Structure formats: structure tokens, C-alpha cells
Chains A and B, each alone.
Chain A
Amino acid sequence: MAKFIAAKIPEGPLEKKWQNYKDQAKLVSPNNRKKLEVIVIGTGLSGASAAASLAEMGYQVKSFCFQDSPRRAHSVAAQGGVNAMKNYKNDGDSVQRMFFDTLKGGDFRAREANTYRLAQCSAALIDQAVAQGVPFAREYSGYLSNRSFGGVQVSRTFYARGQTGQQLLLGAYQALLRQQAKGKVKIFNRHEMLELVCENNTAKGIITRNLVSGKIERHAAHAVVIASGGFGKIYYLSTLAMGCNASAIWRAHKKGALMANPSWTQFHPTSLPQSGTYQSKLTLMSESLRNDGRIWVPKNKKDARNPNEIPESDRDYYLERKYPSYGNLAPRDIASRAAKEQIDNGFGVGELKNAVYLDFAKAIKDLGKTTIQKRYGNLFDMYEKITGINAFKEPMKISPSAHFSMGGLWVDYDLQTSIAGLFAIGEANFSDHGANRLGANSLLQACVDGYYILPYTLQNYLATQIDKPKPVTHSQAFVDAEERVKTQLQTYLNTNGTKTPDEYHKELGKMLYDYCGLSRSRKGLTYVIKEIQKLREEFKTNLLVLGDTYQINSELEKAGRVADYFELAELMCLDALNREESCGAHFREEYQSDEGEAVRNDDDYAYTAAWEWTGNASQPELHKEKLVFKNVSLSTRSYK
């Protein structure tokens, strides 16, 4: 029998909950704040914004990243934009509507109170980012510009050409450096968290490896914040950076933090298709392209003509046909699955028949080349650099690719995990997006978590720590944790087998993509779980890592990450197997309508699946957080 867990959602009507929380949250006096230390892992939008904000309040912050500079965290790569309820366009937007769009986009599998808070806090982010000097796109009038994005019917997306993530991240990075200059933050670059240290189920610090010297270090603190991002890289081919990993959250999970909905992965519909086995990543083309690009495949599977020679009558604009009201702007999960359906049925285009066309010919004809150049110039350039094809002359070829983890560490309304003093923010947690995240809500959630929510909720926790003894690094828990890390690293080096971490990662990724990717089935999942177990056993005895632990050793870093992926992969499959319904990005082949649309089961599955580590990767324990909907009526999610 699964146990039920509670999210500690504040009382009161939906629109008052966050204010009620803030009014009642415990405070720490400025004099006491400087005595309290916080560790933040990751320097992307959520981590940098949290570290900067906490330091501004007066806490002592240690900020960790594996990159050579905090500015390189993968938030930097987000292209399209950030949503905010400003209603500058006067097109009918409101907090209620943004809340509803997000909840519906997530197929009613997110927590109402969290999603509402996200929409409520969104407007302040734009005000603040502009004050920080983030150069958002502007109209000739000098006022801010907006664009529309998938899954909504208003224009609430703010953007900085195709580099919104970069500009927002640099804003957060600079706020972080400003605090380091003041001595309130210490940044540890080229450091990787390898263990969470707990005493009495309370987070007390972390063990890290200095990736340059190899030194294993202990860091104690009054609270630990994990902001390490998503784990879509588990599929090997993904839109993520090479270094993105699940290790921080997985090692916290193995210390008792529950993992929620781990199998819910968003596949981005507009990335570039794979072209060979050597390929290391799939480059994302911003979803904003779907504002003006039309997606199609030839009606005839065997049509080998150049796309420009295929007449309108022989083309199937399948999104426009199937979803007339949203058309090419259908949400990501729907657009990705529709593309997979075309490809699986043999209508794919390109040499490997693994792509669909994204065509700008009509937009260029209607709006002129100059307008399209202005809107998407850098994306067209990027496309040409990678493929050698000019998209002004020929349609782009795109395909779905693993992109965003809706799942992650389970957190309550305070963004606290099931371990006291351990918080998870941004993509590392599971909270706001349900079973599918809307475009341009990711940057928003990362910022809102770090800038506006954690400063209240973490302080509420820290207020209880003032009288407690300061965590120390010479406790037995730290000694044991350090020993475990050292032993584990040595094990990878001693295995002395024949296959590299990348070889295992590619094999594992392919298995997951085939059986726990865009669509899943009981049969496939049951099969692949056994395959994952087999490969994991082989990994333990046949891994090859050269060198030593006392210097830069990227193969050693990869080995640890892949070892964690092997365990997480099985949990993803078990999670997907458990949920006998289709919702959002989780599409179970057994549960679909006659037209191939997802069929939810609200009676049995309106819950968050939160898994507990039991010491055996094959036998996690399920906990359920019941999702209660008081402010919306659950409807079939239709974009027709």
C-alpha cells in the first residue's frame, strides 16, 4: 500500500495562499543571518538567483558549479523567452488565465497552489530583469515587445532575440558576482557534488570533488539547496549540455529525498535530427519558429522529390489538420508525438527518414524576407552552420528530442524535499509543470523559485536553526560520506574493463528513448527494465576508466554520472509502468482514444508519484501526493 504525503499548502483561497504564507513565515533578524550558512548547488537561473538573493539578505552562501564559470550553466542555452502576466498587449491575459494555461498544459497533473503562485510572481520578474539591465526586445516606441508561444492564445512571452536564457542568466550571474565582491558568496567553480551529508534525516552539508586537483572536500551548512537542473541527458542524445547530470539529485535521493514523476520528460518538437552514430547532442531550434513555420510531411511515403517541388496538394500539414485552432502552435508534447507518429508510419523525411519539414515559404511570401530575418535570423544562421542548408530557400528538417525533466526531487509548497533542510529549485524539482511544461515557463519557474520563493521559505526553515549547534565537518557523518566517495571513485578506476562511460551511456540512452521516451507500453517497459538491469551489471564489471583521481579526469566524472543514470533509468521505467494512464508527455500506448489522443484516468491517477529509495534500485517504494483540484474542473485537454 502506498503511503500518502502532504505538500503543506497554506490555507485560504487560491489567490491569497502565497500572501498568507509570506505574512506568517518566520523571519531571521539581520544580525543572525550572517551566522547562518547555505550551500547552493548549481549556478543556472535558479541556483544563481537563489544564491544572489540569499546573500543580499545577509546569509553566508557557498555556490558550486562544475563548469569553469557560473555563467556557463545550461540555462544560458534557453532561446525563446520567458512568460509573464503583464498584459501589455491588452489581449485578455490575467493571472487566472496564465494559471489555467499552465495547469492545462501540464494535463492537470500539477499542484494548483504552486502553479498559481508561479503566475502571480511572474510580473515582478520582468520589472526586476529590466532594472538589472537585461536587454529584452523592444518596439520602436521603446516599450517591451512580446511574442506568442505554444499552448496559449495570448502573447505573454518576453524575449531577447533567440537568447533569452543567456540574457536572464547573465543577469543572475552578475547579481551573484556582485555578492561575491561583497564577500557574501564564495563561488566554487569546477567542483562537483558527490554526496549529501545528513544527520537525523536533516541536511548538514555536502562532499565535493575539486575537478582540477581531484581533492575531496567537506562543506557544512545550515541548509542545502539543489539547483542542478534537469536530467534529460540520460537519453544521451538530447538538447542538454554534455555535463548536465542527475548526480546531485540522485545522491540526495539515495539519502532519503523522494523522487517525483521521474519518467516525465518533455521531448522538444523542433530540434535537429540525428545524422550519425558519433553524434553527441541534438541542437534545439527555438519553438518560436512555430509562430511562422508550417510543419508538414509528404502525403506519399515514397515521395523523393525536393521539398520545394512537392505541390501543396501533395503535402500533409498534419498539425493544422488535426488541431485546427492551435495548428502549428500545439503544445510541445502533442507536436512531438504527432511528429513521431508521422516518422513511425514511414512519412519521415531526410536521409534517415527521421525528420519532418518546418517550412517558412508562406511566411516569407506574406511578411517578407526582412521580417523573417529579423525574427529568426540567428536561428536560420545556426541551422545553416550545422546542416549546410539555407532555410530561406528550403524547409528545415526537424525532429523531437529529449529536453526537459518535469520530474525531479519531490518538494512541498516550501520547495523543501522530504529531507529537512534540503531544498530543490528550478528544473531539479518536480513542482509546477505537471506532465508537460509550456514553452517559456521554464526560465520563469527557475527565476521565481530562486528570486522570490526560496528567500521566504528557506528563511522560514533557517529561523528554526539559529539555536541549533553549527554543523561541523568533523562529524562521523562527514567522515563516512567522504570515505564512500573515495571508495566509489577508486572502484571505477580499478574495474579495468573494456567499455568507456560514453559507450554505456549511448546504449542506455537508446534503450530509454525506445521504451521510455515519447511513448511507453507495459510490454516495452517490462522488457527494458530487465535489459537495463543486465547492462548495469555489465557496467559494474566491464567499465574502463584510465588515469587517477588526483587531476582533471573527465572520464572519471562521466563514470559517476553514468552509474547514477543506470539506477535512475530503472526508476523512470518503474514510474512509467506504474502510471496506467496517458497524460501530457507520458503517453502509454494502452491508454489512447480512437484518434490517438492521450486518455487520462483522473479517478485512479490524479496523484504525484513520489518514490523512496530502499537500497535496491529495482524495488523503490511508492508514496502518493493526492492532487486536489478546487479551482478548475478537470477537462479533456483539447487543442483541436
Chain B
Amino acid sequence: MKLTLKIWRQDGANTKGKMVDYPIDGIEGDMSFLEMLDVLNEELVAKGEEPVEFDHDCREGICGSCSLQINGEPHGPDRLITTCQLHMRSFNDGDTITIEPFRANAFPVIKDLIVDRTAFDRIQQAGGYVSVNTSGNTIDANSIPVNKHNADDSFNAATCIGCGACVAACKNASAMLFTSAKVSQYALLPQGRVEAVDRVQAMVRQMDEEGFGNCSNTGACELECPKGISLENIARMNREYLSANAKG
């Protein structure tokens, strides 16, 4: 395949960026999107040009490192996958592909396609845990049965990989889907109920302080989420938040 790549290049956090065109040839359908960028980078280095920096690590869709706004969509045109799992067979010979970083005020660009997503760590740190020490001296794991339906829903919420696609997809750059997934995981488990009130209040407060926007109610986040995290989590978080505030 022969393609034209339009890629966002930006030297650093405080410099202006711009789109740059790169023609590329010899791309095979079985290549992953990031392998295609590897090929481009090797070509750039050979020509004495600095390679395009992008975040990536596991390349199997679970670490949440890779990002990229591809043709305007987080993680590209396919559903339920991350950029590293996107394969070039999803594109056609002659295509022009635009590649930009995830855009949000709370995700400032560090270089090229790399953004700073530590705001997510801070939301998590505000209360996304059960306050139990790690000694192993707790009750037997089977002493509290958990309704399978709740356990499954909790697991589904917990599969969030913290990539930030939900934020990049949202016209308000809202982090509601990310935050609500963690709130839901614990709201659905007996182990998480003890701190439920404080947790939802603290995490929502942090989310607002980081500069994420309000929920746009369009559902773009759910559509673009590589892990299929459901909008139901946002509804559940809203209920938790309202009831927490009612309790004071």
C-alpha cells in the first residue's frame, strides 16, 4: 500500500506544533498501525530526520500506553481495539491518514504525539482504592460471596485501561467514563461499599480540578472506548454522587 500520512509534529510542551506530510510506500495489511509508524521512523532516521515520538508499550491492547487520534477518531476507525491492535488492512491503497495526539486541556502535549495523562493517576489517587493494608491477614476470600451479576459488572468496569480515548472522543473532553468505571467497580462490590461515599466525592472533585469538562451526553466515549466500558457506569456514578451528597 502507498499512503500519505499527515502527522502532528511538536518539539516540546511550549512550542507550536504543525501537521507535516509524509508519503510512505510498501505498507502491508498484516502490519499493525504502530508497526507502520516503526517503518516510517526507520526511514526518517535513515534520511537524518528525527523520528516521530509516540507512546506505546505492550502492543497487545492492555497497557493503555498507545493513544493517537487517527482520522479524527481515538484509536482509529475500528471499534473495541487500541491503536496497537489496529491493522493496516483497515485502510486502502492511496489513503491519506491524519495522525494527531489526543486533544484535551487536561492532556497537554509533551512531544509530537505524546501527551501527559497523569491527571488520570491523580483522579485514581483521590480515592480509587479500598483502604486495606497489604499484609494478607484478612478474612478468607470466600467468606463474602458476591452475586455473580454484580461481580461480572464490576469486572467489566474494571477492564478500563486508562488510555484516555473517552476524553479524546468527547467534545467537552470529559473524564466521566474513566472516573465512573472505577467508582462502579467498587460500588458493585461489598468490599467497596464501606468507602463509597467518600470515594465518589473525592474522585469527582479531583476530576473537576484537573480541568476535564462536563459530560456531553452524546455517548461518544462509549463508542470509542477500546474496552467497551458502558455508559451505565456514568449513570451509576451520578446516582452514587447524588446520594453521597444527600448524605452529606
Contact = CB atoms under 8 A, between A and B. Distances in A.
Given A76-B58, A170-B158, A386-B87, A278 B31 contact: yes
A163 B64 CA distance: 13
A472 interface: no
B217 interface: no
Interface in A273-305: 275-276, 278-281, 283-284
Given A161-B155, A275-B30, A500-B42, A77 B63 contact: yes
Give the size category of B's interface with A.
35 or more
B45 A180 contact: no
Contacts of B62: 76-77, 163, 166
Interface stretch (B16-24, B128-136, B168-176, B238-246): B128-136
Contacts of B130: 131-133, 174
Interface in A498-530: 500, 502-503
Interface stretch (B1-9, B93-101, B109-117, B207-215): B109-117
Given A69-B162, A133-B130, A140 B148 contact: yes
A502 B45 CA distance: 11
A275 B30 CA distance: 8
A385 B75 CA distance: 14
Contacts of B158: 135, 160, 167, 170
Given A138-B151, A241-B59, A500-B42, A68 B132 contact: no
A124 B135 CA distance: 8
B85 to A, nearest CB: 5
Contacts of B192: 133
Interface in A367-417: 381-382, 385-386, 388
Given A76-B62, A276-B31, A132 B85 contact: no
Interface in A117-139: 121, 124-133, 135-139
A547 B11 CA distance: 11
Contact of A552 (B42, B111, B141, B189): B111
28 contacts: A67-B63, A68-B117, A69-B121, A72-B63, A74-B58, A76-B58, A128-B132, A131-B191, A132-B130, A133-B129, A135-B155, A138-B151, A141-B145, A142-B146, A142-B147, A142-B151, A160-B158, A174-B129, A177-B129, A241-B59, A243-B57, A276-B30, A281-B59, A281-B60, A283-B60, A284-B60, A500-B46, A554-B53
Given A76-B62, A382-B85, A451-B134, 9 more contacts: A68-B118, A131-B139, A135-B151, A163-B62, A163-B159, A170-B158, A174-B130, A242-B58, A552-B110
List 3 A-B pairs, minimum CB-CB distance, nearest first: A142-B145, A124-B136, A174-B129
Interface of B: 11-12, 28, 30-32, 34-35, 38-39, 42, 45-46, 48-51, 53, 55-65, 78, 80-81, 85, 87, 89, 110-111, 114, 116-118, 120-121, 124-126, 128-142, 144-148, 151-152, 154-155, 158-159, 161-162, 185-186, 189, 191-192
